[in-house]
Amino acid sequence: MIQIKICGLTNLEDAHVATEVGADLLGFIFYEPSPRYVTPDTVKQIVTELHQRESTARMVGVFVNATPETVRYTLDYCQLDLAQLHGEESPDFVAQFATQAYKALRPQSLADAETMMTPYLAIEADFQLSKADRPQFLIDAYHPILYGGTGHVTDWGMAATLANRYEIMLAGSLTPDNVAEAIEQVQPWGVDVSSGVERAKGQKEHDLVRAFVRAARGRRASSMC
């Protein structure tokens, strides 16, 4: 089954709706320049409340060029399951977190993607993972400066070739209107959405969250409460 990640969450209400409609992963951004930045204290409160409500979604911290100590502390403090490393983190950096981390890449082309992936694949080979554990990579739209949130759609043809070889999570301007087509074309391990289900930056539109999950699961509107 396709894995669905709702990212850029900043408050409990939005996070609860995401879990209620069946999101598999919830993403919290710990990169201060991001308009969706959220503090560790806030995330800790959200995650604690969701655990009390017996949520089964996995919690993901999104980091951009943070120190290993910061990543490790935040994972522990906020009770997070995974770290998405979205900056220029090296293979050695990723290896410190073993199966708890995966690398986000923003390739310009298939050749660029393969070049970027190669140093990390040796790490992947050291870990025996089931497909349910986490993606090997997140593939986001290219931008020379921005770390996600670019408003650009990822090259689905490139992503489809990568998805045939690796377990990838597809990101890059996905919406309720295009996610079903993206899944059909790319066949990824999972899909990641943030701005595509927002009414304002950092604030989710709940009807869009529901519509995104419905579309990603291949359900008609009438089949979901």
- The catalytic residues are 7, 140
CA-CA distances (angstroms) from residue 81 to 15, 27, 96, 174?
Answer: 15, 10, 15, 24
3-state secondary structure at position 103: strand
Q: Cα–Cα distance between 14 and 99 in angstroms, integer?
A: 27
Tell me which amino acid residue 29 is.
I
Query: CB neighbours (10 Å) of residue 23?
Result: 25
3-state secondary structure at position 119: helix
Helix (H), strand (E) at residue 190: strand 190-193
Instruction: Please choose, from the candidates 45, 73, 77, 79, the residue with its C-alpha nearest in 3D space to the C-alpha of residue 60.
Output: 79
Let me know if 102 is exposed, middle or buried by CB neighbors in 10 A (0-12, 13-18, 19+): buried
